[in-house]
């Protein structure tokens, strides 16, 4: 659904009262975080995130379900500890938003040569990630001088938030859905890199195992990569124990000898497996509170 259509569906009360009020509050927070030094902004954001754990009861219920799927052998206390740490981490992520460029500059980087080679060849590619670590650091800034990541995103229902949180990103913003498909193809044909967060549920997707459960997954990455003969890279930006981020880019092995349907299923399963590896390694850095599986799993 386009931002214009969503905006038209907002009630008068939302458009003229709640939306601008929420937008103004978020603007104040972003400005406050921007004024603060990077570490202070991150720490204060973490404090706010930790506080949200105690009020976001419905989201916590979703998180606990997801954690039980991923870690069936952990105790409820161990899973709750991960959930609390997640809120702290994501609070820090939002506190760090105005400082993304600085955090990127000081991050440890590995595998950027793959994307530099794509830029040299002027060949498009897909860069797959998830709601893990601080994906905003790479999605919101230039990866390096001559090659920009072009993110696929879902616009916020509140147009004020959309401008504050998404429209500030560099690169071509590709909205989800049919209207973004042509823009995505144009970017790829022009040799650009399209970034997709591949850990979200898609009702029209294909069923692919994720934490040993069927999960509806968008197959566009594999479908287009096969059709246009494009490489796929995995990219993660994980918070290190010292507070410095580790950015890693590496190619996803593709089984090009498989038939079309087998290729698509195999590719999307490999992407899910890579995401699982990241999450098992640093579980507090994944966003557990979104419904990744069928809604019946959360009843």
**Could you write out the DSSP letters of every residue in the chain?**
--HHHHHHHS-HHIIIIIHHHHHHHHHHHHHHHHHS-HHHHHHHHHHHHHHHTTT-HHHHHHHHHHHHHH-TTS-HHHHHHHHHHHHHHHHHHHHTGGGHHHHHHHSEEESHHHHHHHHHHT--EEEEE-SBS-HHHHHSS-SBTTB-EEEEEPPPSSHHHHHHHTTT-SS--EESSHHHHHHHHHHHHTTPEEEEE--S--TTSEEEEETTEEEEE--HHHHHHHHHT--EEEEEEEEPTTS-EEEEEEEPP--TTS-HHHHHHHHHHHHHHHHHHHHHHSGGGB-TTS--S-GGGG-
At 268, is the pLDDT very low, low, confident or very high (cuts 50, 70, 90)? very high
Nearest-CA neighbor of 235 among 281, 275, 175, 183? 275
For 113-122, 129-138, 168-177, 289-298, which range has the lowest pLDDT when averaged over its residues?
A: 168-177
> What residue spans define the domains of the chain?
3-289
Highest mean pLDDT among 103-107, 191-195, 209-213: 209-213
Question: Across all residues in the chain, what is the average pLDDT?
Answer: 88
Q: What separation in angstroms does the CA of 126 have from each of 204, 223, 248, 289? A: 20, 11, 15, 26
At 227, is the pLDDT very low, low, confident or very high (cuts 50, 70, 90)? very high
- Say whether pLDDT at 101 is over 70: yes
Q: What is the pLDDT of residue 293?
A: 93
What gap in Å lies between CA 167 and CA 39, rounded to an integer?
25
What is the average per-residue pLDDT within 269-284? Answer: 97
What is the average per-residue pLDDT within 15-23? Answer: 82
- Say whether pLDDT at 298 is over 70: yes
The angle that helices 220-228 and 178-189 make with each other, rounded to 10 degrees, is 40
Highest mean pLDDT among 21-30, 76-85, 109-118, 211-220: 76-85
At 226, is the pLDDT very low, low, confident or very high (cuts 50, 70, 90)? very high
- Say whether pLDDT at 140 is over 50: no
Q: What is the pLDDT of residue 150?
A: 80
Q: What is the pLDDT of residues 68-88, one digit of tens each?
A: 999 999 999 999 999 999 999
């Amino acid at each position: 659904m386009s931002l214009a259509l969503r905006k038209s569906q907002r009630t008068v009360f939302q458009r003229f009262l709640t939306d601008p009020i929420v937008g103004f509050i978020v603007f104040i927070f972003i400005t406050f975080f921007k004024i603060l030094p990077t570490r202070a902004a991150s720490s204060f954001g973490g404090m706010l995130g930790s506080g949200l754990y105690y009020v976001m009861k419905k989201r916590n219920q979703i998180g606990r379900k997801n954690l039980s799927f991923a870690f069936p052998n952990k105790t409820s206390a161990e899973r709750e500890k991960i959930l609390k740490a997640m809120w702290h981490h994501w609070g820090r992520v939002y506190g760090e938003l105005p400082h993304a460029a600085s955090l990127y500059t000081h991050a440890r980087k590995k595998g950027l040569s793959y994307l530099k080679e794509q830029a040299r060849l002027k060949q498009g590619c897909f860069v797959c990630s998830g709601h893990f670590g601080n994906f905003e650091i790479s999605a919101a800034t230039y990866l390096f001088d001559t090659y920009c990541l072009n993110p696929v995103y879902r616009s916020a229902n509140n147009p004020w938030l959309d401008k504050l949180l998404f429209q500030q990103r560099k690169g071509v913003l590709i909205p989800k859905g049919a209207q973004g498909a042509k823009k995505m193809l144009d970017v790829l044909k022009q040799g650009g890199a399209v970034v997709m967060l591949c850990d979200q549920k898609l009702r029209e997707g294909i069923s692919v195992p994720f934490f040993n459960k069927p999960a509806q997954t968008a197959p566009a990455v594999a479908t287009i990569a096969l059709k246009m003969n494009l490489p796929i890279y995995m990219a993660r930006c994980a918070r290190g124990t010292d507070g410095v981020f580790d950015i890693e880019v590496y190619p996803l092995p593709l089984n090009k000898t498989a038939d079309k349907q087998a290729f698509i299923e195999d590719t999307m399963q490999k992407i899910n497996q890579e995401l699982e590896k990241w999450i098992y390694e640093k579980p507090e850095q994944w966003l557990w509170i979104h419904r990744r599986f069928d809604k019946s799993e959360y009843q």
